[in-house]
């Protein structure tokens, strides 16, 4: 019996020794362990992104709240136990005394001080999912007091333990709560990383909608919570970059230098952009904007200048990555704008298209043709190229222009802007479809039904006396635009699977537009064809070497590896007709 008890005691002793050894290693936070743990967490985190944030988001708020309460409680304990007079450090006079006493060394140390605010900015990355008021309340009443108590507690601990300055955070935690705090800290790091990843997805999606980034695959992981998206390409690129930085540096100090420089630079750039928004968007006075920029910008510029001292020690990483992404965004936007400029300069006038109709022997085939273009007026060059080589197009032709306007959302009743092109017998219309950069594009079937209903409604409104003009006047007059409102009482109901295409309102039988409306609905029954231009950009022979590299190499590579317009517009492959064309910039 005694031998058995001795064995149990020996096992317990060995177990406690092993736990103590692990605790000492974690307390020391050896870089190898940090790298290993970080890599495992990163791989697991990025691998779970395709399931959607909403599946685990319900535990985010409790984890962050528990983390803030933990560090604030530990801070209060350290303040009371080690140095209750640490509250005097809140006075800015001590900062001025510190900088005056230390001089250049104090200025350089501000690059490390900037790390105390990194991580807090991650909550502002969620502005796309939460209101600014809720973030202000959370920051003012919970986040900021918790951080102040935590840092004051750590300072109180360091005032009595000067030798523990390198690992002060974990050594300041009381032994009784070390493991719970360590576990909560790990989960809090995961939540903070998730906030940055979700923010990256949202920013890339909005930049792509504004033609500032190549088209990527966007998966909406939640049908109830808007904004929960997943971008596979960006997700795996982020994972590879994070693993490369973590494994390549293998030094928490160098990673901290890179992170601190990135955060302080982002804060300064945001302040500069905010000053422009105050002038250009909010219409504030120039004096207020300059005062805002000088006050906040001078403080942030001080931290940025101190962080630049760490560029050789890991700070070069965010600089290189930012230049790479900036070059990609600039070249993509440049190529897209040049393509749009080519379409504008080479668009076919309506008079030319009508005049060449009899000479070319145009044939009208049954159905509706939807020609997608970036032009809001005129006929795109790709359509002129199409009818010149194949003189036939559909009975009803609609030029669709999809525009992502610089507002988050566009109301459904302001979605479609419909106008007529050319004489009535040509059956040609234009529809400008407007989406906000946060809007979800509708499914094709719903879009087709709403478009046909809108066109029939437009024809009825036009014939019922909205415009009192003859056919010749209608032909030579500028294009008249109607806003089709879904809130109004539509005369034509949307089409469904079980509903045959037929005029619903009895007044349609007696209206002047009976024949045209019936023809449009019959054309819908014959089928809808999506006509997309597949353009290839090439630089001119007289272009500079830099332009040739940008267009022929970078832009061509991005175009081939980004999502095609047919996929981005949810065009069914069976109804797609692509027209190839080369344009020189």
Helix residue spans in 420-491 (DSSP H):
444-461, 471-476
Nearest Cα to 115, choosing from 251, 245, 250, 264? Answer: 264
Q: What is the 3-state secondary structure (H, E, C) of 314-344?
A: CCHHHHHHHHHHHHHHHHHHHHHHHHHHHHH
The CB-side HSE value for 33 (13 A sphere, CA atoms) comes to: 9
The DSSP H or E segment spanning 405 is: strand 392-405
| Ranges in the chain, pLDDT < 70 | 1-34, 118-130, 223-227, 349-362, 406, 437-438, 440-445, 464-514, 566-569
Tokens, residue 117: 């605010």
Kindly state the greatest CA–CA separation across the chain.
Answer: 114
- pLDDT reported for residue 189: 80
Positive or negative CA dihedral for 350, 352, 353, 359? positive
For the chain, the residue count is: 585
Q: How far is CA 321 from CA 190, 238, 264, 271, 556, in A?
A: 23, 12, 16, 21, 21
437-471 burial, b at 16+ Cβ within 10 Å, e below that, comes to bbbeebebeebbbbbbbbbbbbbbbbbeeeeeeee
Q: How far is CA 582 from CA 38, 381, 382, 551, in A?
A: 48, 11, 10, 13
Question: Hey, is 251 helix, strand or coil?
Answer: coil
CA distance linking residue 205 with residue 192, whole number of Å? 20
CA distance linking residue 122 with residue 139, whole number of Å? 12
Tokens, residue 310: 């760490």
- Residue 178, number of CB atoms within 10 A of its CB: 15
pLDDT, one tens digit per residue, over 490-504 is: 333 333 333 333 444
pTM score, whole prediction: 0.71
- pLDDT reported for residue 236: 92
- pLDDT reported for residue 291: 94
Asked whether the beta carbons of 539 and 547 are under 8 A apart, the reply is yes
Tell me the domains of the chain and their CATH numbers: 1-332 (1.20.1740.10), 349-464+510-584 (no CATH)
19-37 burial, b at 16+ Cβ within 10 Å, e below that, comes to eeeeeeebbeeeeeebbee
């Amino acid at each position: 019996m005694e031998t058995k008890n001795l064995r149990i005691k020996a096992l317990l002793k060995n177990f406690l020794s092993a736990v103590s050894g692990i605790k000492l290693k974690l307390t020391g936070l050896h870089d190898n362990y940090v790298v290993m743990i970080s890599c495992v967490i990163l791989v697991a985190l990025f691998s779970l992104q395709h399931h959607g944030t909403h599946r685990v988001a319900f535990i985010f708020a409790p984890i962050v709240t528990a983390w803030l309460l933990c560090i604030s409680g530990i801070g209060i304990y350290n303040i009371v136990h080690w140095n209750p007079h640490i509250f005097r450090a809140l006075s800015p006079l001590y900062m001025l005394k510190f900088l005056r006493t230390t001089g250049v060394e104090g200025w350089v140390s501000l690059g490390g001080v900037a790390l105390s605010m990194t991580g807090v900015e991650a909550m502002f990355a969620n502005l796309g999912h939460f209101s600014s008021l809720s973030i202000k309340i959370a920051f003012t009443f919970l986040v900021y007091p918790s951080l102040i108590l935590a840092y004051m507690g750590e300072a109180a601990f360091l005032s009595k333990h000067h030798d523990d300055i390198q690992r002060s955070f974990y050594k300041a935690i009381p032994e009784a709560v070390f493991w719970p705090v360590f576990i909560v800290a790990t989960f809090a790091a995961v939540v903070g990383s998730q906030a940055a990843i979700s923010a990256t997805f949202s920013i890339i999606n909005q930049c792509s909608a504004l033609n500032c980034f190549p088209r990527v695959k966007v998966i909406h992981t939640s049908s109830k919570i808007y904004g929960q998206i997943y971008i596979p390409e960006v997700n795996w690129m982020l994972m590879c970059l994070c693993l490369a930085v973590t494994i390549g540096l293998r030094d928490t100090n160098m990673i901290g230098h890179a992170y601190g420089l990135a955060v302080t630079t982002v804060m300064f750039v945001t302040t500069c952009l905010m000053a422009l928004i105050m002038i250009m968007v909010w219409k504030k006075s120039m004096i207020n904007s300059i005062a805002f920029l000088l006050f906040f910008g001078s403080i942030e510029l001080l931290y940025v200048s101190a962080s630049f001292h760490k560029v050789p020690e890991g700070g070069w990483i965010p600089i290189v990555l930012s230049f790479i992404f900036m070059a990609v965004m600039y070249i993509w936007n440049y190529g897209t704008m040049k393509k749009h400029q080519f379409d504008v300069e080479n668009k076919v006038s309506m008079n030319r298209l009508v005049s060449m109709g009899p000479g070319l022997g145009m044939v009208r085939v049954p159905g509706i043709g939807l020609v997608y273009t970036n032009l809001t007026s005129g006929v795109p060059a790709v359509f002129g190229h199409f009818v010149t080589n194949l003189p036939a197009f559909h009975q009803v032709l609609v030029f669709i222009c999809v525009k992502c306007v610089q507002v988050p959302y566009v109301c459904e009743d302001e979605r479609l802007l419909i106008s007529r092109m050319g004489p009535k017998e040509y059956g040609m219309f234009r529809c400008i479809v407007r989406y906000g950069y946060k809007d979800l594009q509708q499914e094709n079937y719903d879009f087709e039904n709403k478009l046909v209903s809108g066109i029939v409604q437009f024809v009825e409104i036009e014939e019922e006396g909205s415009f009192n003009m003859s056919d010749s006047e209608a032909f030579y007059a500028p294009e008249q635009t109607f806003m089709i409102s879904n809130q109004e009482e539509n005369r034509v109901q949307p089409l469904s699977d079980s509903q045959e295409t037929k005029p619903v309102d009895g007044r349609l039988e007696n209206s002047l537009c009976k024949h045209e409306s019936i023809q449009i609905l019959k054309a819908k029954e014959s089928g809808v064809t999506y006509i997309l231009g597949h353009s290839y950009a090439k630089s001119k022979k007289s272009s500079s070497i830099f332009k040739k590299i940008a267009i022929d190499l970078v832009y061509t590579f991005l175009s081939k590896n980004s999502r095609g317009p047919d996929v981005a517009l949810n065009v069914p492959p069976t109804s797609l007709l692509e027209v190839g064309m080369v344009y020189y910039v």
